[in-house]
Amino acid sequence: MGKNPSPQKPDATSVVLCGQAGQGIQTVEFLLTRLLKLVGYNVFATKEYMSRVRGGMNSTQIRISSRPVRAFADRIDILVALDKGGVAHLGKRVSSDTVVLGEKEIIRDEEIPGKFVDVPFVKTASEIGNKVYSNVVAVGTLAGIFRIDSALVADFVKKFFSAKASDIVENNAKAANAGYKLGSERANSEKIEFRIEPDDNVTGQIVLNGAEAVGLGAIAGGCNFIAAYPMSPSTAVLVFLAKHAKQFGLIAEQAEDEIAAINMALGAWYAGARAMVSTSGGGFALMTEGVSLAGMIESPLVIHLAQRPGPATGLPTRTEQGDLELALYAGHGEFPRIILAPGKIEDAFYLTQRAFNLADKYQVPVFVLTDQYLMDSYYNIPSLDLSQTRVEKHVIKTAKDYKRYELTENGISPRGIPGYGEGLVAVDSDEHDTEGHITEDLDLRTKMVDKRLTKAREMENDAIPPELVGPEKYKTLIVGWGSTYNVIKEAMDNLARDDVAFLHFKQVYPLPKETPGFLSKAQRTIIIENNATCQFGRLIKLRTGIDIENRILKYNGLAFSVEEVTEKLKELLI
């Protein structure tokens, strides 16, 4: 009861590269995913890495499929171990079915549960001129195993390194060719075969990671100023926008600290710009006074908050959904805000774009809440639909009698900017009257608080409804938010149940008004969160009175895998 017969699973292969920081694993990841996509394979890639410049063990997973694949999985079909310790680092993920490609001289002391294939990555690179080319030898080896055209591989590698000196470009091409020969030979002699049918739809698609999608969404939202202080995993957004600043008429400012960054952004909005800050938990902690200032002066503000495990420095290069309550309650006093949480790469684009329009419309802080997993993951998607995006500005030309904080029925006062019209645009961090001047009129204070909070009711009507995945007539409802979307969706496909649905929230505050209706229909509810205290579940209970009784929580710094979500759901669905 509740099961569909024989679900058809997509053909997919999981390749993991593991080695020390500084060995060029990200270069392998970039080159291989783009090559695979060029020949028509769906690709997904994500990484886990230690907080150090060199040493330690880092790994990257690349999933290759004939159908769209967009989530992290534990399974490893091919492991490329570039250094000693790689097999042990991945632990139980390496199984008896895993093919381990490594250099015998380097990893000879490791216990390998799978099939070991000796591939002289470093020796081959050294013969070409420098062991630094071993990562490109690995690219060629995998390209040979997957039978990508060798001329395409060499040409792509040359283009990638084209800014380097000519001898470096040629040596990298030689490394790719040498690796290709090794891969082809090993695939034949060791009978390594992973047959995946290309997908005709893939070649015209684009490959984006979460950081690029947030950056592009900001540009589509009319962002023309970003201020930030570098902090992983949010830094990639600042880097992306700085790289394209001249192209899109945007100012990218690396501030001296996060306090300066948020105040710069508020000043930019006051002057008529559309501004964003990008930060992570510890940096945002410094911004909370600025958030409160935005609440008092009713300034639009877009805050990209890329979550990582805390408290304090925590695990700076790992992932967690631990800052929802930080975003929800940051800033002293009572004032409204909006919190969006992208679940997919596409969401990161469209929601960031929408964040600017919402901030401008309601004159409130709008959060785009991501995490390290989403920031550092990428996969191929159809081109983004710019027809769905429109820059909506809500600035008026002021008259002489302009009142910045005019009392209105919906709480939204007309927003002017200095120099546009004849009116004076006065703002103040103290409580103020309708013209923006300091006041201690206590009756007026009550009216101003009510005015600001009245906007929250309007914002609730504008909230993005949650997405229901699966049957409308469900007995069990799985609840998730943010970056868990694709993992839960693939786990749902594995379960193949016709009585189980998944409700995904891409706006977590204000809570969409449809929420109680979806939850009350279910006989059983399950919530999945990448934190220890079920922060979204607590928010749902606070706002609806509904307690989600079953919880699947993870907070060791790693994202959920498809397999663990599938197994935990099976246990609860017995």
Q: What's the CA gap between 44 and 62, in Å, rounded?
A: 6
Whether the per-residue pLDDT at 91 is higher than 70: the answer is yes
> Matching CATH topology for 207-388 and 467-572?
yes
Q: Compute the average pLDDT of residues 387-414.
A: 97
Work out the widest C-alpha separation in the chain, in whole angstroms.
86
Strands 500-505 and 99-102: unpaired
Query: Would you say how long the chain is, in residues?
Result: 574
CATH code linked to domain 207-388 = 3.40.50.970
φ/ψ (deg, to 5) at 503:
-110, 115
Confidence of residue 5 (pLDDT cuts 50, 70, 90): very low
Strand 99-102's sheet: what is its strand order? 115-118, 99-102, 78-81, 12-21, 55-65, 42-48, 378-381, 206-209
Q: Compute the average pLDDT of residues 58-76.
A: 96
For 361-384, the pLDDT digits (tens) are: 999 999 999 999 999 999 999 999
Q: What's the CA gap between 320 and 310, in Å, rounded?
A: 9
Whether the per-residue pLDDT at 102 is higher than 80: the answer is yes
Mean pLDDT of the chain: 95
The residue with tokens 């030309």 is 397
DSSP 8-state assignment for residue 547? -
φ/ψ (deg, to 5) at 440:
-120, 25
Q: Which fold has domain 12-189?
A: Pyruvate-ferredoxin Oxidoreductase; domain 3 (3.40.920)
- Whether the CB-CB separation of 458 and 411 falls below 8 Å is answered with yes
Q: Compute the average pLDDT of residues 170-192.
A: 96
Q: What's the CA gap between 534 and 523, in Å, rounded?
A: 20
DSSP 8-state assignment for residue 51? S
φ/ψ (deg, to 5) at 228:
-160, 155
The model's pTM is: 0.96
Confidence of residue 3 (pLDDT cuts 50, 70, 90): very low
The domain spans of the chain are 12-189, 207-388, 395-462, 467-572
For 423-436, the pLDDT digits (tens) are: 999 999 999 999 99
Confidence of residue 186 (pLDDT cuts 50, 70, 90): very high
Q: What's the CA gap between 129 and 301, in Å, rounded?
A: 52
Bridge partners of 78, per DSSP, are 15, 99
Q: What is the pLDDT of residue 109?
A: 77
For 219-262, the pLDDT digits (tens) are: 999 999 999 999 999 999 999 999 999 999 999 999 999 999 99
Q: Which fold has domain 467-572?
A: Rossmann fold (3.40.50)
Alpha helices, DSSP H only, in 299-400?
324-329, 345-362, 372-376
DSSP 386-422: GGG------B-PBPTT--TT---TTS-PPB--TTSBS
Q: Which two tokens stand for residue 353?
A: 């774009």
3-state secondary structure 80-117: EECCCCHHHHHHHHCCCCCEEEECHHHHCCCCCCCEEE
Closest CA to 405 of 358, 439, 356: 439
Q: What's the CA gap between 7 and 4, in Å, rounded?
A: 7
Whether the per-residue pLDDT at 195 is higher than 90: the answer is no
278-287, 333-342, 383-392: the lowest-pLDDT one:
383-392
Q: What's the CA gap between 37 and 410, in Å, rounded?
A: 50
Number of helical (H) and strand (E) elements in the chain, helices listed first: 20, 20
106-115, 146-155, 559-568: the lowest-pLDDT one:
106-115
φ/ψ (deg, to 5) at 167:
-70, -35
368's CB contacts (< 8 A; 6+ apart) are 214, 217, 302, 303, 304, 305, 340, 341, 342, 348, 351, 352, 355
Distances 557 to 25, 48, 307, 409, 413 between C-alpha atoms, Å: 20, 9, 11, 46, 43
Q: What's the CA gap between 510 and 491, in Å, rounded?
A: 28
For 511-564, the pLDDT digits (tens) are: 999 999 999 999 999 999 999 999 999 999 999 999 999 999 999 999 999 999
Confidence of residue 1 (pLDDT cuts 50, 70, 90): very low
Q: Which residues of 78-110 are buried (b: 16+ CB within 10 A; e: fewer)?
A: bbbbbbbbbbebbeebbeeebbbbbbeebbeeb
pLDDT exceeding 70 applies to what percent of the chain? 98
Whether the per-residue pLDDT at 286 is higher than 80: the answer is yes
Q: Compute the average pLDDT of residues 14-29.
A: 93
Q: What's the CA gap between 29 and 60, in Å, rounded?
A: 7
Helix (H) / strand (E) element for 59: namely strand 55-65
Q: Where are the beta strands (DSSP E) in 66-200?
A: 78-81, 99-102, 115-118
- Whether the CB-CB separation of 355 and 265 falls below 8 Å is answered with no
Q: What's the CA gap between 286 and 502, in Å, rounded?
A: 36
Q: What is the pLDDT of residue 488?
A: 98
Confidence of residue 308 (pLDDT cuts 50, 70, 90): very high
Q: What is the pLDDT of residue 7?
A: 36
Q: Compute the average pLDDT of residues 335-346.
A: 98
Closest CA to 183 of 138, 231, 243: 138
Whether the per-residue pLDDT at 87 is higher than 70: the answer is yes
Whether the per-residue pLDDT at 9 is higher than 70: the answer is no
Q: What is the pLDDT of residue 110?
A: 83
Confidence of residue 26 (pLDDT cuts 50, 70, 90): very high
Q: What is the pLDDT of residue 348?
A: 98
Distances 546 to 420, 421, 457, 524, 550 between C-alpha atoms, Å: 48, 50, 21, 12, 12
CA–centroid distance for 279 within its chain: 13
Q: What is the pLDDT of residue 108?
A: 77
Q: What is the pLDDT of residue 480?
A: 98
pLDDT exceeding 90 applies to what percent of the chain? 93
Strand 550-553's sheet: what is its strand order? 467-469, 500-505, 476-481, 524-529, 550-553
Confidence of residue 508 (pLDDT cuts 50, 70, 90): very high
Report the half-sphere exposure of 283 (CA within 13 A, side-chain side): 27
Report the half-sphere exposure of 124 (CA within 13 A, side-chain side): 29
Q: What's the CA gap between 304 and 227, in Å, rounded?
A: 11
